[in-house]
Structure 1
Amino acid sequence: MGVSSVSTLSASREPDVVRPVRPRVTEVRLSAFAVHRRVVLPLDGAFTLLAGPSGSGKSTALRAYAALARLAAGAELEEVFPDPLSCVPDQARPDAQRRRGFRIGCTADGPVGPVRLDLAVQAEPELRVVGERLTAGRTVLLETALVDPTRRAVQAAWHTAGSAPVTRAPLPDDRLGTALLPLRVAGKTDGQRQVLAAAEQLLVALRSVFACDPRPSRMRAPVPNGSGRLLTGCDNLADVLWRTRAECGRRHALLVAALRDGCAVPAADVVAELHSDGTVRAWLERDGGAPTALARLGDGELRYLALALVLLTGPGILEADPVGEVPSALQELTVLADGFDRCLDPRQRAALARLAVRMGERGHLRCVGAVADASWAAGIDGVTVVHLDR
């Protein structure tokens, strides 16, 4: 597995480069993960498309990114990897102790510069972290290793630069050590403060993720009111449309404008109504025509409507897990859209791509999508295409 034909270059890493104010993941590494070996995915643009044929690992790459995000939020390995053997590289052989595993990582850029995370996970005979490294430049800020297989812990050492160069302590082997550093590091020395700043940057960059794959078959029926934030499958689309229309007229107007760009029969409005039975129903009002209920929309129009809403909204509306202690203005939401162009006609996918670029250029949101063929995006400014090759 390899990566080729990247249409834009990664950001410069020269010392005098202006760092992004909002931390962002600029690179995902699939060192040994399912079909991927030694793959590096640059993700520094406003809108990145991972392109490749079926079996090239597009969905797997998005799954690895989403897994890192959940680990950064403090989730345990069993929650994040319910089927860990599916993550083990193809044809990987067990060692003398019958152990097999996988390795993933990422780089997050921000005010403190590039911070690199590398993670090694054992999938069998039991699921556990066996190694983790957090680095900034040439400085190793955190390093863990499995020393005693009989204990459910890894030995950790983090940068101190005080009377002792490092601090050593055991950490649990069922979660990301970097996510635990804010609770373990005192911040009394320059080295400890460097560790905390780097860990915070990485965690903020990773946690602001919304994995999205709208499922039209579940979006047509009336939905209960008050379901909360938009689900990853957009099942509760009607309820969220009702909420956004009531709470933010400007966002609603932008959504209607997007529907005009992407629908063959232009929409004059999108309306949601709360009924006496506690359910919400939604419909499109067409120019010069009768309203069209969501139940009567085709898969393409429903996916277009859902993706446009995702791109125009934020963590307060989406089922994402941003860092509550950090102001939203200092966080950048990343939307992971598997099958980005599924069921969309050429007009719809071009309109969504332009919308994704426009929202990304504002600095608060960016999109990473997976498609089989990205040739349709060739003439759209601001789109980065990363081709996956087997």
Structure 2
Amino acid sequence: MLRLGPLTVLAGPSGSGKTSALRAYDALARLGGGAELGAVFADPGACVPERARPDAQRRRGFRIGCTADGAEGPVHLDVAVQAEPELRIVGERLTADGVVLLETALRDPGRRAVQAAWHTAGSAPVTRAPLPDDRLGTPLLPLRVAGKTDGQRRVLAAAEQMVVALRSVFACDPLPGRMREPVPTGSGRLLGGCDNLADVLGRTRVECGRRHAQFVAAVRTGCAGPVEDVLAEPVVGGVIRALIDRGDGVRTGLGRLGYGELRYLALALVLFTGPGVLEVDPAGEVPAALQTLTVLADGFDRGLDVRQRAELLRLAARMCERGHIRFVGAVADASWAERAEGVTVVHLSP
């Protein structure tokens, strides 16, 4: 189990499981948002532990899970996924304070369903019904549980706490090679690879002048040369490109920036924005002011110099302290982050 704080850095050598942990987090978030199992695990066989042996029915799989703390106390979710011979959820358990609130199990392999039982604490201790085996059961509970008894209301509250905690996750890995080119005008929502950064800049610069000014100040700290503004402009062909205004009549296209500068600029933009600007599934049932965005950044310090990584970590700590963002980054060596205020460093080993 990995204990994550508002700002967490996973550290360890190659093969220690940093990327696997971030992928599991992202997978749980997508399942919590109602995604189908096949859309989340395109290559499920790669998730099966190398030494796992098939059972008598030639089945192999893996487990993922998490704990979400909140008003209902720690709520635990554990999911068993069968990867071979066919992809399906074969078991799920939602527990709080030692009470099993939801439990599913595969009873009949010939049916595309699992048997579910959820806590009722009424005239009958549990209610049983089939649930699909290609989706997580916890997000489906509000559609199945009436909420008439104290037990049912407890199930709904725990499920809501878990689903809200898992929603609004943005896996971010800026790809400078794609960021250098002009892009078509689109939705204005940033993609995980930040390919469409120019399109998003055109939106954020207009929508929130205060945040944009803070973003420009951060870019000024992490990029070479003077920086008066960061903007987007249309070019021939119906596309737009991103530019840095140097303040002396010179504008530098992002194509001229270095690899580390582009990654720094993109990550800074992510930290200053929210669910409405990033390509995430926001928790619509939660007021925008109370929503928390979780950013996952594998290879967080890749291509960054000492100054850039320190400034991004300081910026992430500042935004996490405000309570509207959580950040989990993965690095090989976190010695530079160990003493930073507000940072939780989790050391992993192969």
In the aligned structure 1, how far is the partner of 2:342 from the partner of 2:62?
Answer: 33
Q: 1:323: how far off?
A: 1.4
CA distance in 1, matches of 2:138, 2:36: 13
Inter-partner Cα distance in structure 1 for 2:76 and 2:177: 40
By how many angstroms is 1:266 displaced? Answer: 3.9
**Percentage of matched positions with identical amino acids:** 77
* Residues 1:41 and 2:11 are matched in the alignment: no
2:197 aligned residue (228, 231, 237)? 237
SS at match of 2:50: coil
Aligned to 1:379: 339
Please, which runs of 5 or more residues in structure 1 have no aligned partner? 1-39
Q: Structure 2, unaligned stretches of length 5 or more?
A: none
Greater shift, 159-168 or 280-289, is seen at 280-289
Residue 153 (structure 2) aligns with: 193
- CA shift at 1:317, angstroms? 0.3
Q: Which residue of 2 aligns with 1:58?
A: 18
Q: Which residue of 2 aligns with 1:134?
A: 94
Name 1:15's counterpart in structure 2. none
**Residue type of the partner of 2:69?**
D
Equivalent in the alignment of 1:330: 290
Deviation at 1:261, TM superposition (A): 2.0
Residue 153 of structure 1: CA displacement?
Answer: 0.8
> Is 1:113 the counterpart of 2:63 in the alignment?
no
Between 1:353-362 and 1:47-56, the stretch displaced more is 47-56
Question: Aligned partner of 1:373: which letter?
Answer: D
1:225 aligned onto 2:180:
no
1:262 aligns with 2:222: yes
The whole-number CA distance in structure 2 between the counterparts of 1:167 and 1:306 is 48
In structure 2, the residue matched to 1:215 is 175
Mean alpha-carbon deviation: is it higher for 286-295 or for 348-357?
A: 286-295
CA contact (8 A) 1:259 1:266 kept: no
**Distance in 1, Cα, partners of 2:284 & 2:238:** 31
1:243 to partner: Cα distance: 0.7
Q: 1:117 to 1:271 in 2, by over 3 A?
A: same
1:272 to 228, 232, 237: 232
Deviation string 1:135-192 (CA, Å, 9 cap, x unpaired) is 1111110001111111111110000111111000111111101011011001111111
Counterpart for residue 56 of structure 2? 96
Structure 1 segments of 4+ aligned residues over 6 angstroms from their partners: none
For this pair of structures, how many residues does the alignment match?
350
Summarize the alignment of residues 51-90 of structure 1 with structure 2, pairs less than 5 Å apart. Answer: 51-90=11-50
Query: TM-score scaled by structure 1?
Result: 0.88
TM-score of the aligned structures, taking structure 2 as reference length: 0.97
Give, in whole Å, the separation in 2 of the partners of 1:288 and 1:224: 28
Q: Which amino acid aligns with 1:322?
A: P
1:53-74 per-position Cα deviation (integer Å, ceiling 9, x unaligned):
1111111110000000000011
Alignment of 1:135-214 (within 5 A): 135-214=95-174
- Aligned-partner Cα distance in 1 for 2:33–2:153: 21
One-letter code aligned to 1:75:
A
RMSD: 1.2
Stretch of structure 1 that moved more, 366-375 or 323-332: 323-332
Q: CA deviation at 1:47?
A: 1.4
* Partner-residue secondary structure (3-state), 2:302: coil
Per-residue deviation, 1:206: 0.1
What residue number does 2:257 align with? 297
